[in-house]
């Protein structure tokens, strides 16, 4: 199984430019149906939930792989919901997952929800937690199955002058989760510096591997790469 992680330069415009950029970055990938592409949190700022869902489905169909569609702010109810969809190579929507615990100022505009992200893909138990939910260990107790792979669509922000502080925090948390569950961890994020307005993105995307014997491979950051493929050995 291949896992495709992303860390593109994105923006907050309410148009299709982020999806077009992601499509360009991934267009030459050679993937199998059981492979997984993970998009960043809130990469799609268009107001239409249908547009977001259709873009995720289209990407799955073009790549012939599963897509964990980052997240989208759904405004169809009284208070905004931060949630995402998992789509199959056929374009079918297989699962919906929600942000359970909005963080900091996000609480003022996003409603806490309850739909935990769990799905089995190619015999692999996949857990999906949106950004800051990754930091709350009690949320992991909601899982029905021990995860083989934990996926985190992120939009990391920092008030520090550089992204290094946030990157170290995320790296240590990813390694901790790897050894807590014996699972792979994949994080996709907005690249640094993306167009975010007042806040600064940190670019914390990376891959944590429970199978390695090399200390410097416990966590492999994407660094300046916008897209990177990692092989998962599930034997």
Residue by residue, pLDDT tens for the chain (235 residues) are 999 999 999 999 999 999 999 999 999 999 999 999 999 999 999 999 999 999 999 999 999 999 999 999 999 888 899 999 999 999 999 999 999 999 988 888 899 999 999 999 999 999 999 999 999 999 999 999 999 999 999 999 988 889 999 999 999 999 999 999 999 999 999 999 998 877 889 999 999 999 999 988 999 999 999 999 999 998 8
d(CA 112, CA 82) in angstroms, rounded, equals 8
pLDDT, position 199: 80
Helix (H, G, I), strand (E, B) or coil at 208: strand
Domains of the chain: which residue ranges?
2-231
Segments in the chain forming alpha helices (H):
17-26, 49-63, 164-181
d(CA 133, CA 87) in angstroms, rounded, equals 21
Phi-psi label, residue 66: left if phi above 0, alpha if psi -120 to 50, beta otherwise? beta
List the Cα angle 186/29/70 in 5-degree steps: 40
Say how many C-beta atoms besides its own lie within 10 A of residue 54's C-beta.
Answer: 14
Contacts for 186 with CB less than 8 Å, ≥ 6 apart: 3, 5, 38, 149, 150, 151, 152, 206, 207, 208, 230
Instruction: Answer whether CATH 3.60.110.10 is correct for domain 2-231.
Output: yes
d(CA 6, CA 60) in angstroms, rounded, equals 15
pLDDT, position 77: 82
**Residue 99: its H or E element:** none
d(CA 213, CA 204) in angstroms, rounded, equals 23
pLDDT, position 153: 99
């Amino acid at each position: 199984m291949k896992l495709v992680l992303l860390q593109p330069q994105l923006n907050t415009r309410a148009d299709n430019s982020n999806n077009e950029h992601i499509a360009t970055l991934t267009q030459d990938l050679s993937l199998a149906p059981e492979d997984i592409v993970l998009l960043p949190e809130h990469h799609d700022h268009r107001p239409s939930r249908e547009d977001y869902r259709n873009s995720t489905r289209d990407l799955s169909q073009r790549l012939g792989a599963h897509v964990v569609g980052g997240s989208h702010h759904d405004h169809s109810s009284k208070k905004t919901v931060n949630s995402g969809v998992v789509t199959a190579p056929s374009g079918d929507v297989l699962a919906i997952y929600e942000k359970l615990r909005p963080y900091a100022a996000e609480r003022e505009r996003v409603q806490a929800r309850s739909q935990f992200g769990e799905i089995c893909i190619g015999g692999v138990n996949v857990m999906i937690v949106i950004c800051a939910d990754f930091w709350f260990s009690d949320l992991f107790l909601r899982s029905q199955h021990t995860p083989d792979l934990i996926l985190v669509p992120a939009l990391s922000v920092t008030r520090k002058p550089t992204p290094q502080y946030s990157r170290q925090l995320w790296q240590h948390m990813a390694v901790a989760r790897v050894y807590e569950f014996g699972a792979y961890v994949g994080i996709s994020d907005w690249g640094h510096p993306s167009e975010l307005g007042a806040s600064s993105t940190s670019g914390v995307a990376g891959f944590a591997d429970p199978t390695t014997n090399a200390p410097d491979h416990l966590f492999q950051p994407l660094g300046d790469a916008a897209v990177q493929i990692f092989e998962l050995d599930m034997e």
